């Protein structure tokens, strides 16, 4: 049937193993069928490289091809067996029908959108699926002429299971359908026909599908209210809620954020890693929180050892002998830019002459510094306990062969089935912590730094191994490490200690309110802070419509200043752009601007530009579904933004010799 042995077959094998079998689908027929259907043939040419990602993808007519795992889960739940006659409602791309056709005798598929129906039919023909019959029409009525069916699957969510569909089930037949009270979220329902009019119903949990539109489904909204009118309404709501931001360099800017001054943690996002306005706004807000509200920790999405040398600089402590220069690793512009430099200078000035307890510190939450952290632990032990240094050197030696490319270590651990260095790194951390009292007496502050580096090495070892199991697992380890680091910093600072976090929107907004958490099983710092501190953790998102951004076209490629595409028509960003507001703050907390909050409760596309930006495939590489007003407590909007200015190599002009960014 389907062509096999294509260059995608390895990706397909990995998809089945990591996204489907690993999540508990174990029906061999289903796994085999998923191994056989070339998913890349069911998406647009430009999207093929994303075909095996762990997510739904857009298809024509504003619809989606379901996430591979969900397709497998539904087919398993419907217990489709060889010889079965199956009805699918919402054929879309035709992918799920093709998977079912690998197992069942005959598949009847209905699709509402004529354009999709035509393309799917062509695919079936080209790929040789001759046991699928597709018609265009309203599937909520079923297909009475072809009934009864052994299984019925709906690939779109409706308000209830239509009776007409239950009537078309054969005795013992199964129906699987997303059912929910609103259009945006559903629970996956499985109904089994146990007798003539007898049914048993179970639920498989929360899912998100496009709406099922038809006689026994939802109404077609586009036919009632043209999109333009609905956008006009939202424009009024946005303009009403906008609080204009003062100039970035005016003290009034930070004052607008005084309302968040009582929080334990304020998390400041960014929609890219290279936009000047985001950095300057975060700096202005942070200055205010530090000067007027007692915040004493600035924790950023950067490596711990690099941030530690900045911390020494801002707190007027001498640099550690032999410490490498800060932020030499890709992406250097993220921290070596003029906006960060200005903030660091301000922080140093703020700390001048203050006793240690009243100073504010600068810390890194991330874990990409395996080598420099190993070196920092060894340097520390060389100074305080040369004997322990010898042991630690031996233990860390386990990782030395992989020091240039730690990902290769993860690969080795996976293929050999053995976490070779796990014990070594955990033991080093434990030995260090065991001597806490003794070391800390001799060298208090440096002990905390060394312990954090040892912790980082242990977590990084696990991170590189997890990279090979699946992206969600390594992402979760990384964000959990960042959150744990934040908690340790707050604990070390005592009861009154308060933190500002600078990290990307994708880390600080509540992941449970986005595609990350809802589709891919990913958590993030924002979510963990919410779970720990409730309303005392305040995530603030930042967005833009257009302008320029500093980014690379590939990992490790040189930085470029790129134009940012105008935001997409359906996105959150476009609503703010169309409203025509000046740079503004939007308070999204309950009880503040509820009309606005409600308009952004449902999910819409939101743009996430990273250190890599690919304008050509932007929709698929940089947008994800997000419920903006539940993801963030506030939204800071700059319609037009500019790229950051990276620091030139060599000393920045007029900087003191000790300046940590100097090379
Ligand atoms: N199984 C598909 C998923 C497509 S998304 C795949 O693997 O690609 C759901 C599809 O349901 C959309 O294409 C949408 O147009 C269609 N749809 C919504 N309401 C429908 C209805 N009443 N009858 C038939 N199709 C419907």
Find out whether 384 and 442 touch, Cβ atoms under 8 Å. yes
Q: In angstroms, what is the span from residue 386 Cα to ligand 1's centroid? A: 67
Contacts of 225 (CB under 8 A, 6+ apart): none
Find out whether 327 and 306 touch, Cβ atoms under 8 Å. yes
Is the Cβ atom of 486 under 6 angstroms away from ligand 1? no
Q: In angstroms, what is the span from residue 97 Cα to ligand 1's centroid? A: 11
What's 9-222's CATH class? alpha beta
Contacts of 287 (CB under 8 A, 6+ apart): 254, 343, 346, 350
Closest-lying ligand 1 atom to the alpha carbon of residue 90: 11
Q: In angstroms, what is the span from residue 178 Cα to ligand 1's centroid? A: 12
Cα–Cα distance measured from residue 43 to residue 23, given in angstroms and rounded to the nearest whole number: 24
Q: Which of 74, 80, 155 to mutate to test the pocket of ligand 1 (most atoms within 8 A of CB)?
A: 155
Residue nearest to atom 17 of ligand 1 (CA): 90
Residue nearest to atom 13 of ligand 1 (CA): 92
Q: In angstroms, what is the span from residue 7 Cα to ligand 1's centroid? A: 29
Instruction: Count CB neighbours of 211 within 10 A.
Output: 21
Closest-lying ligand 1 atom to the alpha carbon of residue 59: 8
Going through 459-603 in order, the beta strands assigned E by DSSP cover: 499-502, 537-551, 560-564, 584-587
pLDDT tens for 75-114 read 999 999 999 999 999 999 999 999 999 999 999 999 999 9
Is the Cβ atom of 161 under 6 angstroms away from ligand 1? no
Catalytic residue among 55, 66, 93, 584: 66
Find out whether 395 and 427 touch, Cβ atoms under 8 Å. yes
Rounded to whole angstroms, what are the CA distances from 32 to 22, 53, 95, 99, 475? 15, 18, 15, 9, 28
Find the DSSP H helices in 294-421. 304-314, 338-351, 370-384, 386-396, 406-416
Cα–Cα distance measured from residue 157 to residue 154, given in angstroms and rounded to the nearest whole number: 7
Is the Cβ atom of 361 under 6 angstroms away from ligand 1? no
Q: In angstroms, what is the span from residue 14 Cα to ligand 1's centroid? A: 27
Written as six digits, the tokens of 658 are: 């000790």
Cα–Cα distance measured from residue 229 to residue 243, given in angstroms and rounded to the nearest whole number: 24
Closest-lying ligand 1 atom to the alpha carbon of residue 140: 22
Length of the chain in residues, anyone? 663
Would you state the pLDDT for residue 655?
Answer: 42
Written as six digits, the tokens of 419 are: 């976490």
272 counts as catalytic: no
Cα–Cα distance measured from residue 348 to residue 380, given in angstroms and rounded to the nearest whole number: 25
Cα–Cα distance measured from residue 451 to residue 381, given in angstroms and rounded to the nearest whole number: 11
Written as six digits, the tokens of 622 are: 């940089």
Kindly give the parts of the chain with pLDDT less than 50: 1-4, 224-229, 651-658, 662-663
In this structure, is the dihedral angle defined by the CA atoms of residues 486, 487, 488 and 490, taken in order, positive or negative? positive
Is the Cβ atom of 428 under 6 angstroms away from ligand 1? no
Is the Cβ atom of 65 under 6 angstroms away from ligand 1? yes
Find the DSSP H helices in 128-220. 163-167
3-state DSSP of 243-291: EECCCCCCHHHHHCCHHHCCCCEEEECCCCCCEHHHHHHHHHHHHHHHH
Closest-lying ligand 1 atom to the alpha carbon of residue 215: 22
Residue nearest to atom 11 of ligand 1 (CA): 90
Rounded to whole angstroms, what are the CA distances from 475 to 506, 512, 601, 660? 11, 14, 25, 29
Classified as helix, coil or strand, 198 is coil
Is the Cβ atom of 216 under 6 angstroms away from ligand 1? no
Taking the domains of the chain in order of start, what are their residue ranges?
9-222, 238-641
Q: Which of 64, 73, 92, 179 to mutate to test the pocket of ligand 1 (most atoms within 8 A of CB)?
A: 92
Instruction: Give the distance, in angstroms, between the CA of residue 508 and the centroid of all CA atoms in the same chain.
Output: 10
Nearest to 632 by CA among 544, 542, 540: 540
Task: Provide the whole-model pTM.
Answer: 0.75
Is the Cβ atom of 112 under 6 angstroms away from ligand 1? yes
Would you state the pLDDT for residue 649?
Answer: 66
Q: In angstroms, what is the span from residue 164 Cα to ligand 1's centroid? A: 18
Contacts of 15 (CB under 8 A, 6+ apart): 34, 39, 52, 54, 68
pLDDT tens for 27-84 read 999 999 999 999 999 998 888 888 998 888 888 887 889 999 999 999 999 999 999 9
Cα–Cα distance measured from residue 119 to residue 154, given in angstroms and rounded to the nearest whole number: 19
Q: Which of 55, 90, 113 to mutate to test the pocket of ligand 1 (most atoms within 8 A of CB)?
A: 90
Classified as helix, coil or strand, 494 is coil
Do the bridges between strand 584-587 and strand 169-179 make them parallel or antiparallel, or are there none, so unpaired?
unpaired
Is the Cβ atom of 96 under 6 angstroms away from ligand 1? yes
In DSSP terms, 337 is beta-bridged to 646
Would you state the pLDDT for residue 32?
Answer: 97
Q: In angstroms, what is the span from residue 8 Cα to ligand 1's centroid? A: 25
């Amino acid at each position: 049937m389907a062509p096999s042995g294509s260059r995608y077959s390895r990706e397909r094998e990995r998809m089945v193993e990591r996204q489907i079998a690993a999540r508990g689908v174990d029906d061999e027929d289903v796994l085999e069928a998923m191994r056989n259907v070339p998913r890349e043939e069911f998406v647009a040419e430009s999207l093929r490289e994303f075909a095996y990602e762990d997510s739904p993808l857009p298809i024509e007519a504003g619809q989606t091809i379901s996430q591979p795992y969900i397709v497998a889960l539904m087919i398993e739940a419907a217990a489709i067996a060889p010889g079965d006659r199956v009805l699918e409602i919402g054929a879309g791309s035709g992918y799920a029908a093709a998977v079912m056709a690998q197992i069942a005798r005959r598949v009847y598929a209905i699709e509402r959108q004529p354009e999709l129906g035509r393309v799917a039919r062509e695919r079936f023909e080209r790929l040789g699926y001759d046991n699928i019959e597709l018609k265009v029409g309203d599937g909520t009525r079923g297909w009475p002429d072809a009934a009864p069916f052994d299984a019925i699957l709906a690939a779109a969510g409706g308000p209830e299971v239509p009776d007409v569909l239950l009537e078309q089930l054969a005795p013992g037949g199964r129906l699987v359908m997303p059912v929910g009270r609103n259009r945006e979220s559903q629970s996956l329902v499985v109904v089994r026909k146990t007798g003539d009019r007898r049914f048993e119903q179970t639920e498989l949990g929360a899912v998100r599908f496009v709406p099922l539109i038809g006689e026994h489904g939802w109404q077609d909204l586009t036919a009632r209210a043209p999109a333009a009118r609905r956008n006009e309404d939202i424009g009024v709501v946005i303009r009403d809620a906008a609080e204009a931001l003062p100039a970035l360099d005016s003290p009034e800017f930070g004052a607008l954020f005084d309302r968040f001054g009582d929080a334990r943690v304020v998390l400041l996002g960014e929609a890219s890693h290279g936009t000047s306005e985001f950095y300057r706004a975060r700096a202005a807000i942070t200055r205010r929180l530090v000067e007027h509200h007692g915040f004493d920790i600035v924790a950023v999405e950067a490596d711990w050892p690099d941030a530690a040398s900045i911390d020494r600089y801002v707190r007027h402590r001498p640099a550690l002998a032999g410490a490498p220069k800060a932020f030499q690793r890709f992406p250097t512009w993220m921290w070596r830019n003029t906006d960060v430099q200005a903030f660091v200078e301000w922080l140093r000035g703020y700390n001048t002459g203050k006793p240690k307890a009243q100073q504010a510190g600068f810390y890194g939450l991330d874990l990409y510094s395996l080598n420099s952290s190993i070196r920092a632990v060894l340097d520390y032990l060389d100074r305080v306990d040369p004997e322990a240094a010898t042991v630690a050197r031996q233990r860390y030696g386990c990782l030395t062969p992989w020091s240039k490319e730690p990902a290769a270590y993860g690969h080795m651990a996976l293929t050999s089935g053995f976490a070779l260095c796990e014990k070594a790194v955990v033991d080093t951390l434990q030995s260090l912590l065991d001597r806490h009292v003794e070391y800390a007496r001799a060298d208090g502050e440096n002990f905390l730094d060394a312990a954090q580096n040892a912790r980082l090495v242990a977590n990084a070892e696990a991170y590189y191994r997890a990279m090979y199991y699946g992206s969600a697992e390594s992402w979760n380890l990384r964000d959990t490490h960042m959150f744990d680091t934040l908690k340790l910093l707050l604990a070390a600072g005592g009861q009154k200690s308060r933190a500002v976090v600078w990290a990307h929107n994708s880390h600080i907004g509540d992941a449970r309110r986005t595609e990350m958490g809802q589709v891919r099983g990913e958590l993030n710092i924002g979510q963990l802070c919410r779970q720990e501190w409730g309303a005392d953790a305040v995530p603030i998102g930042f967005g833009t419509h257009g302008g320029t951004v500093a980014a690379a076209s590939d990992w490790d490629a040189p930085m470029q200043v790129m134009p940012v595409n105008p935001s997409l028509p359906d996105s959150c960003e476009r609503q703010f752009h169309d409203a025509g507001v000046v740079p503004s703050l939007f308070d999204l907390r309950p009880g503040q601007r509820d009309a606005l909050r409600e308009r952004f409760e449902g999910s819409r596309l939101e743009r996430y530009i990273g250190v890599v930006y690919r304008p050509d495939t932007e929709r698929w590489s940089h947008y994800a579904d997000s419920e903006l007003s539940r993801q963030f407590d506030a939204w800071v909007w700059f319609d037009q933004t500019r790229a950051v200015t990276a620091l030139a190599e060599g000393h920045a002009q007029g900087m003191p010799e000790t300046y940590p960014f100097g090379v």
